[in-house]
Amino acid sequence: MVYEVKETIDETYTSSKAWAEEFTRITLDWFNAHGCTFPWRTTSNPFHILVAEILLRQTQAKRVAGPYQELVSRYPDAHALAEADVEELRDWFGPLGLFKRANYLVKAAKEIAGNYCGEIPNNIEALLRLPGVGTYSARAIHCLAFGSSVPMIDESSGRLLRRVLGLGYKGPAFADRRLFEKVEVTFAGAITKSFNLGLLDLAVQHCRPKSPDCPECPLHDLCTHAKNIRSKYRQIM
């Protein structure tokens, strides 16, 4: 049975500069020691990162690693992918359950080759107009490829941030304006590639939707959700 704990928000608990600095330090230290390694995380090539983000939409990263590496090897830039045979790509992706991505990839490549001279646009609004690129993907490309200090929040990292900050759940995390505003204010100047990726990996490894591994999470002592659970249990005892 899963028990939902209603968060008790203590703004002073998560709004201090010292709290934010400690949160950032722990996240970065943990990521440097335990973060996942994927091929698209070791490149700053905007086109390769765009390919990865289109492939990763609602798909586990481990399933994408092989197809990603083969795809960027066969089609290293937008001009090359724009000339690809869509049906051939669909057949290739079919066994992986990713055949619909072939359409997005080729359409996005054609758009980039035709309207941006083969270069990935360096602004979120233009990225959002590319086929297969959503809100999270656009922010991820903007941060990972261009080094922009923007939060890249998906449902996993959004769940962690909502629990830590005590914001509750109000629709999809990627569309939660209150969450983005809180993160941008609280972690102003600290939102980097490693910080964003650290939150993603921490969420997957510790902050699961059901039965989160709170005692082993390095953010345990800074988390509103964990604090509320501890308080609840003390009251029961």
CATH number where 178 lies: 1.10.1670.10
Q: Give the whole-angstrom CA distance, residue 165 versus residue 10.
A: 9
Q: Is residue 48, in this structure, part of any structural domain at all?
A: yes
Mark whether 160 and 220 lie in a shared domain.
yes
Q: Express each pLDDT in 124-146 by its tens digit.
A: 999 999 999 999 999 999 999 99
Task: Look up residue 123 and give its DSSP letter.
Answer: S
Domain final residue, candidates 146, 164, 186 = 146
Mark whether 51 and 141 lie in a shared domain.
yes
Domain final residue, candidates 126, 146, 166 = 146
Mark whether 174 and 122 lie in a shared domain.
no
Q: Express each pLDDT in 58-84 by its tens digit.
A: 888 988 899 899 999 999 999 999 999
Mark whether 126 and 138 lie in a shared domain.
yes
Q: Give the whole-angstrom CA distance, residue 97 versus residue 42.
A: 25
Provide the pLDDT for residue 191.
Answer: 96
Q: Give the whole-angstrom CA distance, residue 98 versus residue 109.
A: 17
Of all residues in the chain, the percent with pLDDT exceeding 90 is 73
Q: Is residue 2, in this structure, part of any structural domain at all?
A: no
Domain final residue, candidates 146, 164, 194 = 146
Q: Is residue 61, in this structure, part of any structural domain at all?
A: yes
Q: Where are the alpha helices (DSSP H) in the chain?
A: 11-14, 17-34, 46-56, 61-74, 78-82, 86-93, 99-115, 124-128, 135-146, 155-165, 177-186, 193-205, 224-236
Mark whether 129 and 44 lie in a shared domain.
yes
Of all residues in the chain, the percent with pLDDT exceeding 70 is 90
- Residue 10 backbone zone (phi > 0: left; psi -120 to 50: alpha; other: beta): beta
Residue 87: which CATH number? 1.10.340.30
Task: Look up residue 40 and give its DSSP letter.
Answer: G
Mark whether 130 and 116 lie in a shared domain.
yes
Q: Is residue 74, in this structure, part of any structural domain at all?
A: yes
Provide the pLDDT for residue 170.
Answer: 78
Report the number of distinct structural domains present in the chain.
Answer: 2
0.85 surpassed by pTM: yes
Radius of gyration of the chain (CA): 19
Range of the domain at 218: 11-34+150-236
Q: Give the whole-angstrom CA distance, residue 19 versus residue 231.
A: 19
Q: Give the whole-angstrom CA distance, residue 193 versus residue 117.
A: 26
